[in-house]
Structure 1
Amino acid sequence: MKKLNAFYKTARLSCRTHFPSCLVTGILVGAMACAGTVSAANPDHATFTFGGAIVGGACKISVQPVPLGKHMPSEFSGVGGPLSWVNFNIDSEGCDLDVVTLHMEFDGTADANNAKLFALSPGGASGVGVELQAQDGRVVTPNGTGTALLSWTPVAIGSSYPMRARYIQTLPKITVGPANSTATIILTYN
């Protein structure tokens, strides 16, 4: 039998000359580089890859709690009967320059008797849901059911996206208690 001796070529690569952004020193057989995978199939050179991502812009918004007021059951006119709109704003904290269109989806629990309304939180009043719209009349439904996203042209920091909300009766009998509801705004772009 013939005995084979292994031979490995080593190299010391200059950081400035060969890899300006990282230091590579070592054996070029299954070698490594700080920015990715290195291949040393040919001992006279090495190939390596870079990784990363190009990401799009984003927007920031804020919303204060929306007080819909205190109401008595007698103020409602029956199932489907609404109370007056309460205007509020979704405030802009700015968008990156590459955002062309801002889309808002409103996630929340739909009312069991009217899926177009946001349900009241458990443990409080019942027989009422919350309707949500843009002030120009564009309809918002929980989780985007039956509607497209609410789309806006981005506005400057300090400006706002005008919205409105109101209570609507959903059952023949209304029980009293806290009448709170929650919606989460999910933003997408362009």
Structure 2
Amino acid sequence: MSLLVPALLASAAASAAITCTGGGGTTTLGLPTLVVIPRDTTMPVGTLLTPWVAGPERPYTFTCNAPGGSGYVRGVSRNASGLVSAGILVPAPPGYALDVTVAQSGVPGVGIAVYYRPYLRGWQTGFRSGLPDWGRTSIDYTGTGAGNQLGGQIFTALVKTAGVVSAGNIVPMEVATILATSSGTAVGGGATPDRYRIPAIRIQAGACVIPSDTRVALGDQKRTAFTAHGATGPWVDFRIPVTGCPAALTSIEYGLRSVNGFPPDPADSAKGVIAIAPGGAKGIGIQLWDNATGAAVPPYPTRMGLRGFVPGTAAYTLDLRARMYQTLPATEPGPVDAQVEITMMYR
């Protein structure tokens, strides 16, 4: 099923008598090339995922000559025949009182709405129908004579069309073709279609929310507890909430990047040990462990899958533990401070 929307054409009782020139342009509309979708279960179907984006005003796209007795000159447009209806309507941009049919975009849950604001003896407020076919009356222009100007302005927006919006890519495509016609037939005189396209658009799920700062107190520990490389202190469990995850995600991975680097022995790094801040205790690092997987947190940039991930679930918990770990044969007392940054990878 092809999707059709408003544009401008010419029509008359004696179509052969009307001639038009102009058109022939191709305009790429300024929709954003990256659209980040927040967690969308709270957004109803029909919500605009982008604002309406206005194309250039082109009031004089076509110049039509309508000799006396030729009847009406009318304006109509249609979308590119490749677009298919998504089965929903959305209100036109503010100030235009009608509904606009939404087309499928190729990304599940995301549609494309196209509105055409016509110019015919001045800017018009809208069509009698949001979806006129070729030759269907939208605006009547009863004048005759030479130099009748027809044109308009395209508006586009992305729209939520399903309960869950998927991440993906909208390919560049033509979304509207404007052509001067009369009673559904292209007029003579050399007018050519005016075409409107959208760019490639990446639909990306928004990020989950994690606290900006989580502090873990390992407590004071005696130097005498650390007598050899590999000696450890007691574990301290801690949890980091992960909330607001978008429903469109298909996987979540996380990594912990040590701000202070790693201990000198690579074998310690493989056990999840990170270095502490300069100026602190000597020969001591901190070991990080993932309770959910029962494994050491690997050194960044290696990431681990979020245990228990289920698409559409909003909230999770990173269940971790930490302890002091001796990294050298001998130690010296001092503060034990370390900092890690959490990096999340979404698909």
TM over 0.5: yes
**RMSD in angstroms over aligned alpha carbons?**
3.6
Is the 1:131–1:168 Cα contact (8 Å) retained in structure 2?
yes
Percent identity of the aligned residues? 24
Correspondence for 2:337: 180
1:55-108 deviation digits (Å, cap 9, x = unpaired):
235322225211111112112231101111100001122311222432111111
**Aligned with 2:227 (options 52, 77, 89):** 77
Is the 2:226–2:331 Cα contact (8 Å) retained in structure 1?
no
**Aligned with 2:115 (options 11, 14, 20):** 20
- Which stretch of structure 1 is more off in the superposition, 162-171 or 95-104? 95-104
Amino acid at match of 1:182: Q
Unpaired stretches in structure 1, ≥5 consecutive residues:
1-7, 26-31
The verdict on how the C-alpha distance between 1:46 and 1:72 changes in structure 2, with shifts beyond 3 A counting, is same
- The secondary structure found in structure 1 opposite 2:285 is strand
1:126 and 1:43 mapped to 2: Cα distance? 82
Alignment of 1:1-190 (within 5 A): 9=22, 12=60, 18=77, 20=115, 43-51=191-199, 52-62=201-211, 64-108=214-258, 109-113=261-265, 114-116=268-270, 117-136=273-292, 137-144=294-301, 149-154=304-309, 156-157=314-315, 160-190=317-347
Structure showing greater radius of gyration is 2
Is the 2:283–2:326 Cα contact (8 Å) retained in structure 1?
yes
Higher relative contact order (CA closer than 8 Å, sequence separation 6+) = 1
Per the normalisation by structure 1, the TM-score is 0.72
Amino acid at match of 2:269: A
Q: Pick the structure with more strand per residue.
A: 2
Per the normalisation by structure 2, the TM-score is 0.42
2:237 and 2:338 mapped to 1: Cα distance? 16
- The secondary structure found in structure 1 opposite 2:203 is coil
Q: How many residues align?
A: 173
1:86 and 1:127 mapped to 2: Cα distance? 20
Is the 2:227–2:329 Cα contact (8 Å) retained in structure 1?
no
Unpaired stretches in structure 2, ≥5 consecutive residues:
1-20, 24-58, 63-74, 78-113, 124-152, 157-171, 175-189
